[in-house]
Structure 1
Amino acid sequence: MFHRLNVIRLRLPPLRERREDIALLVRHFLQKSARELGVETKRVSDEALLVLQNHAFPGNVRELENICHWLTVMAPGLTVDAKDLPPELRQPARALPAAQPQAIQVPTMVDTSPLTIGTGTGGVVREVSDEAALSQFASGLQPSPAASLPASPPSAPTPAIEDDWEAAVARVARELLQGGQAEVMDLLTQRFERAVIGAALDVTHGRRIEAAVKLGIGRNTITRKIQDLGLDD
């Protein structure tokens, strides 16, 4: 079967071998992502495009498409600068540390033959070994005091553990159930969603698409819940 199909082979080089196509592909993928999300198409600055063209793209064209989709959602402005690119593109590759030269110890050859010391007048000669001379010299040396080690810095205080919010929810649910409240599940679910979505909108400064990405829900879902929960007032 392979030899029946293997008639004409077409080799499509990887993206790293055709960097001149990156600018055209970036424009295409940004337009595609903007249409899918219903937002305005963003453009890439020359500096950001240079960073993309210098990237190796181990994931080939699919990696570039995912980056453009990420930029459509996460880039704050309509013009994408180099600082808006994903962190893995902005961080230069770390160079391996250079090998440190190791000191080579050369053994010292010590002559252990006895020393001949002349006494001057009378021609009397006496022999003194090296060990005795070194021992006599070392006896006059005093050991240097050991350098005091710096005291270790005090450890940072452990932050206080926050209250268990699950226990708080259980306490509120118990009070509502004991008080005869109906549809407790729907009531607590609405309060929970209102708090979480409101916090996400506050963190993203009202950008709904970015809030949806952070929460892991769809764009239509967050739009519907904002209307149902009265968060668009």
Structure 2
Amino acid sequence: MHQHSPRASKPFIALNMAAIPKDLIESELFGHEKGAFTGAMAQRKGRFEQADGGTLFLDEIGDMPAETQTRLLRVLADGEFYRVGGHTPVKVNVRIIAATHQDLEQRVREHRFREDLFHRLNVIRIQLPSLKERREDIPALAQYFLTKSARDLQMESKVLTQQSQDYLCSLDWPGNVRQLENVCHWLTVMASSREIQLSDLPPELLARAPSTHNEADWQQALANWAKQQLESPTPDTLQQALPDFERVMIKTVLAHTRGRRGEAAKLLGWGRNTLTRKLKDLDNS
């Protein structure tokens, strides 16, 4: 975003709010004057001054302390601030880009993030879906990270077999893109051959049961059943399958709810009368 903006020739300064001790955040953001506190041997410019004319990227802004939120709000409103220990206002022209993995609206409701600051920042929102919500990107991202790691380590780039690629796509990736990048770096170092086999993946990934495996298993079983039926096709193949499918679903859900029909009907997305009628139909079939 910075590189494709009119500010591209100006500084891009990044600061991770979660990585800075609470008592140092204001000094990091706004700088300090000589003698402002013990160890302040000289005047120091903060990230706002360093980014003047350019972009300041505040990562994990949801972790910003309440008092710093108040000071940031004033900078956004007035375009000026005071260094820690200073008495002269410093004017800056900075574009703010903020990011967080947290639900800021929820934190506002919990009074853990200022509502007025949230609305100041929430001008243009870009929501990035988690990696498990865009599994189709995993092969391209994995190959990019494998190539990058190989270049950094001055090694030949490795490639994923189709089986390994499919397995990576089936995982949930709670650490998102950073986790995938770390796995690819690990594979660049540890995989014994250029082609990365399923057995080359880190043990912790192989031990994790992908959430899609059970889904794939029953779908494959259904496909096998359909193929068998098509060997001697009848006009009512689907009509045979649907009652059996409903019977299995109803029995499974009723077992889960210990026979409580009202709760079972809700889980199935039906009304209680619908469930009662279907049970009667199944009993008669």
Length-normalised TM-score, structure 1: 0.39
Q: TM-score, normalised by structure 2?
A: 0.32
- The structure with the largest alpha-carbon Rg is 1
